[in-house]
Structure 1
């Protein structure tokens, strides 16, 4: 009959949808020059049953001229049950289950889902994989965790070169865990989850709290060179740098406050970041002013005492 599989498929596609997908056409209005996209399709009520599909006319070129034959003459059409598509993931077949989270955070929902899945006795060769936002969240958390660790190491190495000391950077880095304790406390008290945004806030906080600690240690070192004892140098350095440290922290906290209480429209995504920074700055600022000088005075020893002990 001169029909190919392509001809039959194009006729069926045109009947069930339109010719736009297989033979798109453009008509240009000669008066306005506007382009119009043209597609041909059947009326909706002409393809509502299997019998109507079997009687779909196919154009055929014969010796007597063009004519039509029903689709049932060239194809066997039966109703069967089968999936609309066969999905694969990492070469293996999968059945996707889509779930939306409402009213709860993603992390707690994932924990409950995984706990429920562990109670299911799957057949041999059957397993489950959590994808979508869950995988993105976990990959982001790992990346930011590595970023926090890398940032801390780089800051320590830079300070070690700057101060030409191994001990001074360690004293300065005491501000980092103090800041993290404030981050966790703020997230807990405000019922905010530990997510990507809050980890970014913690990462941003490192630079500020380390800078505050640097001010104290650097000033104390300068006072040591002037003949002050470790305790006196630590106390004087804290009193000298008290106002700059507190003012810097308060300015940062004040700038983050509108974001943390949803005063800024559209800033919901920034709430965990702002709360993490505020909590870290509040706790680290005041603990740094107390703990860093104490540790400094305990670790540093007067040169006169060291010289006397070595002579004895």
Structure 2
């Protein structure tokens, strides 16, 4: 109570003058309250002996800092952090750094984003949904075109390869996965499956002509090899200016590099592995299926009868 009264103050009575009341506050002088050493000079009376004893003989003083204001968000203590990006760092890199720092130092703390950071987080979450919808839409369209669920599945196997290639090249160019690279990954769904479509469609035509599965797919790879290489090479060459033109800092450098590196790497990896993965999976998944023209052959037999 003594320390509380001297440093916090206590109203002991009120003074009345001309009909107005003024509180009389008992408190230590402001000069002593600002000096931490004054705490040890405060005397309190002992309950046992009745003598006055200084606080310096009873307690140990330790100085610690505390916030003047304890802000709250959703009924929980919160701290607002505002920062400005400097150098060549992007907002995505700053968010990743902040998440890592909080996870390592304050594992139980949560983060609520505001401003541009919040918009970027929401856009990133939406891009994952868009990516999934793009995959589903492409698969369903090809199911309708090929009149099969197996052939589109063979074609869609090139998508993970293109995504892997895009991410690898992003890391090689010291770039991060941001909104621009995510858009490029969605674009890769369309342009990377094109090569597999050429092989699968031509193999189906050869099977209708009477060839077996293995001969048809190998012949399709041989016949469509030049078309696959030329279309893929033209796409990769078109991405070179986006990559080479961003070696030095400049306006829009991060966005152009993200798009260029993602599409270039995705097409390079997917083109190389498509010539191996697509024929192999085509043979494995279709070896137990009926001939492409099985219905037409059966109908012809019935008509001849």
Which residue number in structure 1 is paired with residue 208 of structure 2? Answer: 225
Partner residue of 2:38? none
**Which deviations, in whole Å up to 9, do the C-alpha atoms of 1:94-116 show, x marking residues without a partner?**
87542012243434433443454
RMSD: 3.0
CA contact (8 A) 2:246 2:256 kept: no
Structure 1 distance, partners of 2:101, 2:195, is: 47
1:244 counterpart residue number: 227
Aligned partners of 2:107, 2:180: CA distance in 1, in Å? Answer: 37
Q: How far did residue 287 of structure 1 move?
A: 0.7
1:141 to 98, 115, 124: 124
Alignment of 1:113-262 (within 5 A): 113-117=98-102, 119=105, 129-262=112-245
Partner of 2:278: 292
Take 1:136 and 1:270, find their aligned partners in 2: how far apart are those partners? 20
How many residues align? The count is 216
1:99 aligns with 2:97: no
State whether residues 223 and 233 of structure 1, in contact with CA within 8 Å, keep that contact through their aligned partners in structure 2. Answer: yes
TM-score by length of 2: 0.63
Query: Within 2, Cα distance between the matches of 1:267 and 1:281?
Result: 23
Ranges in structure 2 where 5+ consecutive residues have no aligned partner: 1-70, 295-305
Partner of 1:281: 267
- The CA deviation at 1:90 is 8.6
Consecutive unaligned residues in structure 1, runs of 5 or more: 1-86, 308-312
Structure 1: distance between partners of 2:225 and 2:192? 13
Name 2:20's counterpart in structure 1: none
Q: Distance in 1 between matches of 2:125 and 2:107?
A: 30
TM-score, with normalisation over the residues of structure 1? 0.62
Deviations 1:128-183, CA, capped at 9 Å, x for gaps: 63312221221111111111110000010011111111101100101111111111
Task: Find the aligned partners of 2:278 and 2:106 in 1 and give their Cα distance.
Answer: 52
Give the distance between the partners of 1:127 and 1:267, measured in 2 at CA: 32
Q: CA deviation at 1:88?
A: 11
